[in-house]
Copies of this chain bind each other. A is one copy, B any other.
Amino acid sequence: MIKETNGIRGGRRGPEQLDLFDRKILGALAEDALQSYAVLGKAVNLSPPAVHERVKRLRRSGVMKGAHAALDGTALGKPLLAFVHVEAAGWGKSERLMQLCRFPEVEEMHSVAGDASVIFKVRTGSPRALEAFLSQVHAVPGVTGTKSYVALSTYLERPVQAEMTSDWPEYPLPA
Contact = CB atoms under 8 A, between A and B. Distances in A.
Contact of A119 (B75, B116, B123, B149): B149
A161 B124 CA distance: 10
Contacts of A168: 124, 128-129, 132-133
Contacts of A83: 83, 112, 119
Contact of A160 (B31, B76, B111, B156): B76
A119 B108 CA distance: 15
Contacts of A26: 69, 71, 76
Interface residues of A, number: 82
A173 B102 contact: yes
Interface in A53-80: 61-73, 75-78
Contacts of A2: none
A126 to B, nearest CB: 9
A18 to B, nearest CB: 7
Nearest to A106: B156
10 contacts: A32-B67, A33-B34, A62-B75, A63-B71, A76-B164, A99-B173, A102-B173, A110-B152, A112-B149, A116-B149
